[in-house]
Amino acid sequence: MNEKNTKRISKFLSLILRHQPEKIGLKLDISGWASVEELLNKSSNNGVSFTKEELDFVVKTNDKQRFSFNE
């Protein structure tokens, strides 16, 4: 994945997961976690499409470790 696409997804995730999940209709649980499937679907429905593999890459390579997966 190229750097431009990685940065685009990372910035979008920061906005949605940290500040405005309601912007795409995403519901976070009581601990602040989101369903990956719901995140992918709601993002795509709101014009920001990315795959699970791209999401995995962004989470793994984010230099500030802002994102993680929970079982």
Q: pLDDT tens for residues 19-71?
A: 999 999 999 999 999 999 999 999 999 999 999 999 999 999 998 899 999 98
pTM: 0.92
Confidence of residue 9 (pLDDT cuts 50, 70, 90): very high
For residue 1, name the pLDDT band (cuts at 50, 70, 90). confident
Q: What is the CATH number of the domain that holds 32?
A: 1.10.10.970
Break the chain down into helix, strand, coil percent, rounded to 5. 60, 0, 40
pLDDT at 15: 97
* Residue span of the structural domain in which 35 resides: 3-61
Does residue 16 contact residue 23 with C-beta atoms inside 8 Å?
yes
Provide the domain count of the chain. Answer: 1
Q: Identify whether the C-beta of residue 39 lies closer than 8 Å to the C-beta of residue 33.
A: no
Residue 67 lies in a domain: no
Under 8 Å between Cβ of 6 and 13: no
On whether residue 68 sits in a domain, the answer given is no
